[in-house]
Protein backbone atom coordinates (compact mmCIF):
# COMPACT_ATOMS: atom_id res chain seq x y z
CA UNK A 1 0.00 0.00 0.00
CA UNK A 2 1.29 3.45 -0.88
CA UNK A 3 0.75 6.36 1.46
CA UNK A 4 2.12 9.07 -0.79
CA UNK A 5 -1.05 11.09 -0.27
CA UNK A 6 -0.20 11.36 3.42
CA UNK A 7 2.51 13.99 2.93
CA UNK A 8 1.22 17.19 4.54
CA UNK A 9 2.01 19.40 7.49
CA UNK A 10 -0.68 19.80 10.16
CA UNK A 11 -1.16 17.20 12.90
CA UNK A 12 -4.97 17.04 12.50
CA UNK A 13 -4.54 16.46 8.76
CA UNK A 14 -1.90 13.80 9.44
CA UNK A 15 -4.20 11.96 11.80
CA UNK A 16 -7.14 12.25 9.38
CA UNK A 17 -5.17 10.59 6.63
CA UNK A 18 -3.64 8.01 8.96
CA UNK A 19 -7.16 6.94 9.91
CA UNK A 20 -8.28 6.85 6.28
CA UNK A 21 -5.35 4.59 5.43
CA UNK A 22 -5.93 2.49 8.55
CA UNK A 23 -9.53 1.85 7.51
CA UNK A 24 -8.21 0.46 4.23
CA UNK A 25 -5.49 -1.79 5.61
CA UNK A 26 -6.41 -2.52 9.24
CA UNK A 27 -2.76 -2.11 10.34
CA UNK A 28 -0.01 0.48 9.79
CA UNK A 29 3.58 0.31 10.98
CA UNK A 30 5.36 3.25 12.61
CA UNK A 31 8.31 2.80 10.23
CA UNK A 32 6.20 2.97 7.08
CA UNK A 33 4.19 5.92 8.35
CA UNK A 34 7.27 7.90 9.29
CA UNK A 35 8.79 7.31 5.85
CA UNK A 36 5.69 8.16 3.87
CA UNK A 37 4.69 11.15 6.00
CA UNK A 38 8.18 12.57 5.99
CA UNK A 39 8.20 12.97 9.77
CA UNK A 40 10.09 11.31 12.61
CA UNK A 41 8.96 8.06 14.24
CA UNK A 42 8.50 10.08 17.44
CA UNK A 43 5.99 12.35 15.68
CA UNK A 44 4.16 9.31 14.29
CA UNK A 45 3.98 7.71 17.74
CA UNK A 46 2.59 10.96 19.16
CA UNK A 47 -0.12 10.97 16.49
CA UNK A 48 -0.93 7.33 17.13
CA UNK A 49 -1.15 7.88 20.90
CA UNK A 50 -3.61 10.69 20.28
CA UNK A 51 -5.73 8.45 18.06
CA UNK A 52 -5.62 5.71 20.69
CA UNK A 53 -6.70 8.16 23.41
CA UNK A 54 -9.70 9.04 21.25
CA UNK A 55 -10.61 5.36 20.93
CA UNK A 56 -10.15 5.47 17.16
CA UNK A 57 -7.18 3.11 17.02
CA UNK A 58 -5.33 0.53 19.09
CA UNK A 59 -1.57 0.67 19.64
CA UNK A 60 0.10 -2.66 18.88
CA UNK A 61 3.74 -3.75 18.65
CA UNK A 62 5.38 -1.75 15.87
CA UNK A 63 2.34 0.21 14.83
CA UNK A 64 -1.40 0.68 15.11
CA UNK A 65 -4.57 -1.23 14.22
CA UNK A 66 -8.28 -0.61 14.12
CA UNK A 67 -10.18 -1.29 17.36
CA UNK A 68 -12.33 -4.44 17.51
CA UNK A 69 -15.55 -3.90 15.60
CA UNK A 70 -14.12 -1.10 13.44
CA UNK A 71 -14.57 2.61 13.99
CA UNK A 72 -15.81 3.89 17.34
CA UNK A 73 -19.20 5.48 17.66
CA UNK A 74 -22.68 4.61 16.37
CA UNK A 75 -23.18 4.11 12.65
CA UNK A 76 -24.82 6.70 10.40
CA UNK A 77 -27.96 4.59 9.93
CA UNK A 78 -28.34 4.20 13.69
CA UNK A 79 -27.90 7.95 14.25
CA UNK A 80 -30.49 8.67 11.56
CA UNK A 81 -33.05 6.80 13.66
CA UNK A 82 -32.40 8.94 16.77
CA UNK A 83 -34.87 11.84 17.15
CA UNK A 84 -35.89 11.81 13.47
CA UNK A 85 -38.90 14.10 14.04
CA UNK A 86 -36.76 16.68 15.86
CA UNK A 87 -34.19 16.61 13.05
CA UNK A 88 -36.90 17.28 10.49
CA UNK A 89 -38.20 20.19 12.57
CA UNK A 90 -34.68 21.65 12.67
CA UNK A 91 -34.21 20.88 8.99
CA UNK A 92 -37.35 22.76 7.99
CA UNK A 93 -36.42 25.81 10.06
CA UNK A 94 -32.90 25.88 8.64
CA UNK A 95 -34.07 25.34 5.05
CA UNK A 96 -36.37 28.34 5.45
CA UNK A 97 -33.23 30.51 5.61
CA UNK A 98 -32.34 29.55 2.03
CA UNK A 99 -33.29 31.80 -0.89
CA UNK A 100 -34.27 30.18 -4.22
CA UNK A 101 -31.02 30.90 -6.06
CA UNK A 102 -28.57 30.52 -3.16
CA UNK A 103 -25.29 28.65 -3.19
CA UNK A 104 -25.21 26.55 -0.03
CA UNK A 105 -22.99 23.95 1.58
CA UNK A 106 -24.35 20.94 3.45
CA UNK A 107 -22.08 19.18 5.93
CA UNK A 108 -22.11 15.46 6.68
CA UNK A 109 -24.39 14.21 9.44
CA UNK A 110 -28.02 13.29 9.83
CA UNK A 111 -29.35 16.71 10.88
CA UNK A 112 -27.55 18.44 8.01
CA UNK A 113 -29.08 15.84 5.68
CA UNK A 114 -32.49 16.82 7.02
CA UNK A 115 -31.85 20.39 5.83
CA UNK A 116 -31.26 19.13 2.30
CA UNK A 117 -34.41 17.02 2.52
CA UNK A 118 -36.44 20.08 3.56
CA UNK A 119 -35.20 22.51 0.91
CA UNK A 120 -38.16 24.30 -0.69
CA UNK A 121 -39.44 23.05 -4.03
CA UNK A 122 -38.48 26.32 -5.73
CA UNK A 123 -34.83 26.03 -4.73
CA UNK A 124 -32.87 26.14 -7.98
CA UNK A 125 -29.47 27.25 -6.70
CA UNK A 126 -26.28 25.31 -6.11
CA UNK A 127 -25.59 22.79 -3.34
CA UNK A 128 -22.06 21.74 -2.38
CA UNK A 129 -21.59 18.68 -0.18
CA UNK A 130 -19.33 15.78 0.76
CA UNK A 131 -22.26 13.83 2.22
CA UNK A 132 -23.21 10.70 0.26
CA UNK A 133 -26.83 10.65 1.58
CA UNK A 134 -27.29 14.29 0.56
CA UNK A 135 -25.96 13.55 -2.92
CA UNK A 136 -28.44 10.67 -3.15
CA UNK A 137 -31.30 12.97 -2.11
CA UNK A 138 -30.35 15.50 -4.76
CA UNK A 139 -30.70 12.93 -7.56
CA UNK A 140 -34.42 13.69 -7.41
CA UNK A 141 -33.90 17.47 -7.64
CA UNK A 142 -32.84 18.13 -11.28
CA UNK A 143 -33.30 21.91 -10.93
CA UNK A 144 -30.55 22.05 -8.31
CA UNK A 145 -26.94 22.27 -9.41
CA UNK A 146 -25.09 19.78 -7.22
CA UNK A 147 -21.33 19.71 -6.64
CA UNK A 148 -20.08 16.61 -4.90
CA UNK A 149 -16.72 16.84 -3.16
CA UNK A 150 -14.81 13.70 -4.06
CA UNK A 151 -12.49 11.69 -1.89
CA UNK A 152 -12.43 8.52 0.15
CA UNK A 153 -15.74 7.42 1.66
CA UNK A 154 -15.83 7.20 5.46
CA UNK A 155 -18.47 4.54 5.98
CA UNK A 156 -19.38 5.55 9.53
CA UNK A 157 -20.20 9.11 8.42
CA UNK A 158 -21.18 8.29 4.83
CA UNK A 159 -19.07 11.25 3.77
CA UNK A 160 -16.12 11.77 1.42
CA UNK A 161 -12.85 13.19 2.73
CA UNK A 162 -9.33 13.62 1.47
CA UNK A 163 -7.24 15.87 -0.72
CA UNK A 164 -9.60 15.69 -3.72
CA UNK A 165 -12.31 17.33 -1.63
CA UNK A 166 -9.97 19.84 0.00
CA UNK A 167 -8.40 20.94 -3.29
CA UNK A 168 -11.81 21.61 -4.84
CA UNK A 169 -13.04 23.50 -1.77
CA UNK A 170 -10.14 25.95 -2.01
CA UNK A 171 -11.62 27.24 -5.28
CA UNK A 172 -15.19 27.57 -4.06
CA UNK A 173 -17.46 29.82 -2.02
CA UNK A 174 -20.91 29.24 -0.51
CA UNK A 175 -23.21 31.83 1.00
CA UNK A 176 -24.39 29.56 3.79
CA UNK A 177 -23.03 26.33 5.26
CA UNK A 178 -25.25 24.03 7.31
CA UNK A 179 -22.91 22.47 9.86
CA UNK A 180 -23.66 19.29 11.79
CA UNK A 181 -22.38 18.30 15.23
CA UNK A 182 -22.26 15.35 17.60
CA UNK A 183 -22.45 17.51 20.72
CA UNK A 184 -22.76 21.16 21.73
CA UNK A 185 -21.90 22.88 25.00
CA UNK A 186 -20.90 26.35 26.18
CA UNK A 187 -17.38 25.88 24.82
CA UNK A 188 -18.57 25.13 21.32
CA UNK A 189 -19.21 22.38 18.81
CA UNK A 190 -17.88 18.80 18.96
CA UNK A 191 -17.64 15.69 16.80
CA UNK A 192 -16.75 12.08 17.64
CA UNK A 193 -13.66 11.66 15.52
CA UNK A 194 -10.69 13.72 14.44
CA UNK A 195 -11.17 12.20 10.98
CA UNK A 196 -14.13 14.59 10.53
CA UNK A 197 -12.25 17.70 11.56
CA UNK A 198 -10.31 18.64 8.44
CA UNK A 199 -13.34 18.48 6.14
CA UNK A 200 -15.50 20.51 8.52
CA UNK A 201 -12.87 23.24 8.87
CA UNK A 202 -12.42 23.36 5.10
CA UNK A 203 -16.11 23.87 4.33
CA UNK A 204 -16.40 26.44 7.11
CA UNK A 205 -13.59 28.46 5.53
CA UNK A 206 -15.47 28.93 2.24
CA UNK A 207 -18.79 29.96 3.84
CA UNK A 208 -20.03 33.53 4.23
CA UNK A 209 -22.31 32.29 7.03
CA UNK A 210 -22.03 29.15 9.17
CA UNK A 211 -25.35 27.78 10.41
CA UNK A 212 -25.12 25.12 13.11
CA UNK A 213 -28.05 22.70 13.00
CA UNK A 214 -28.52 20.63 16.16
CA UNK A 215 -31.54 18.91 17.67
CA UNK A 216 -32.04 19.14 21.42
CA UNK A 217 -30.29 15.87 22.20
CA UNK A 218 -26.93 17.37 21.17
CA UNK A 219 -26.89 19.59 24.29
CA UNK A 220 -26.90 16.50 26.51
CA UNK A 221 -24.46 14.52 24.37
CA UNK A 222 -20.70 14.21 24.73
CA UNK A 223 -18.05 14.01 22.02
CA UNK A 224 -14.27 14.40 22.38
CA UNK A 225 -13.11 16.50 19.42
CA UNK A 226 -13.91 20.23 19.38
CA UNK A 227 -14.60 21.75 15.98
CA UNK A 228 -14.87 25.40 17.03
CA UNK A 229 -16.17 27.87 19.60
CA UNK A 230 -19.30 29.94 19.09
CA UNK A 231 -17.33 32.81 17.58
CA UNK A 232 -17.21 30.70 14.38
CA UNK A 233 -20.98 30.09 14.39
CA UNK A 234 -23.19 32.81 12.88
CA UNK A 235 -26.56 31.12 13.46
CA UNK A 236 -27.71 28.24 15.65
CA UNK A 237 -30.92 26.42 14.71
CA UNK A 238 -32.40 23.96 17.21
CA UNK A 239 -35.77 22.68 18.39
CA UNK A 240 -35.37 23.47 22.11
CA UNK A 241 -34.60 26.43 24.32
CA UNK A 242 -30.86 26.68 24.83
CA UNK A 243 -29.34 25.61 28.15
CA UNK A 244 -28.40 28.80 30.07
CA UNK A 245 -24.64 28.35 29.71
CA UNK A 246 -24.94 27.71 25.98
CA UNK A 247 -27.31 30.65 25.53
CA UNK A 248 -24.86 32.92 27.33
CA UNK A 249 -21.90 31.73 25.24
CA UNK A 250 -23.85 32.18 22.00
CA UNK A 251 -25.03 35.64 23.03
CA UNK A 252 -21.50 36.79 23.92
CA UNK A 253 -20.21 35.50 20.57
CA UNK A 254 -22.97 37.27 18.64
CA UNK A 255 -24.48 33.99 17.41
CA UNK A 256 -28.07 34.35 16.22
CA UNK A 257 -30.51 31.83 17.75
CA UNK A 258 -33.36 30.34 15.72
CA UNK A 259 -35.86 28.26 17.68
CA UNK A 260 -37.50 25.78 15.31
- What fold is seen in the domain 76-259? Rossmann fold (3.40.50)
Out of 20-24, 34-38, 121-125, 183-187, which region has the weakest mean confidence (pLDDT)? 20-24
Give the pLDDT confidence score for residue 203 in this predicted structure: 92
pLDDT at 145 over 50: yes
pLDDT tens digits along 2-37: 444 444 457 888 888 788 777 666 677 888 888 888
pLDDT tens digits along 195-249: 778 889 989 999 999 999 999 999 999 888 899 999 999 999 999 999 999 999 9
Give residue limits of the domains in the chain.
4-65, 76-259
pLDDT tens digits along 46-59: 999 988 888 788 88
- What fold is seen in the domain 4-65? Arc Repressor Mutant, subunit A (1.10.10)
Give the pLDDT confidence score for residue 65 in this predicted structure: 75
* Predicted TM-score (pTM) of this structure: 0.74
> Which of 43 and 61 is assigned the larger pLDDT?
43
Give the pLDDT confidence score for residue 198 in this predicted structure: 82
Confidence category of residue 129, pLDDT binned at 50, 70, 90: very high
Q: What's phi and psi for 188, nearest 5 deg?
A: 140, -145
Give the pLDDT confidence score for residue 79 in this predicted structure: 77
pLDDT tens digits along 161-183: 777 777 788 889 999 999 999 99
Give the pLDDT confidence score for residue 25 in this predicted structure: 60
Give the pLDDT confidence score for residue 78 in this predicted structure: 67
Angstrom distances, CA of residue 204 to CA of 53, 87, 184: 26, 21, 17
Q: Return mean pLDDT, the chain.
A: 87
Give the pLDDT confidence score for residue 159 in this predicted structure: 87
Give the pLDDT confidence score for residue 158 in this predicted structure: 85
Q: Closest Cα partner for 103 from 128, 85, 134?
A: 128
Give the pLDDT confidence score for residue 151 in this predicted structure: 79
Give the pLDDT confidence score for residue 3 in this predicted structure: 47
Amino acid sequence: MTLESLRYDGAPQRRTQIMAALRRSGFLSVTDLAEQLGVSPMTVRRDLRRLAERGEAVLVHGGVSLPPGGAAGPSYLHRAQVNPEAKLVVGRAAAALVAPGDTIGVDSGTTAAAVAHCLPDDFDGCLVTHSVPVLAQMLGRPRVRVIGLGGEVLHENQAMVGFAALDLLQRMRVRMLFLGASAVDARGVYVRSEVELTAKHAVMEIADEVVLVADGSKFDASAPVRVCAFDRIDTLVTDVDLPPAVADAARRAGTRFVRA
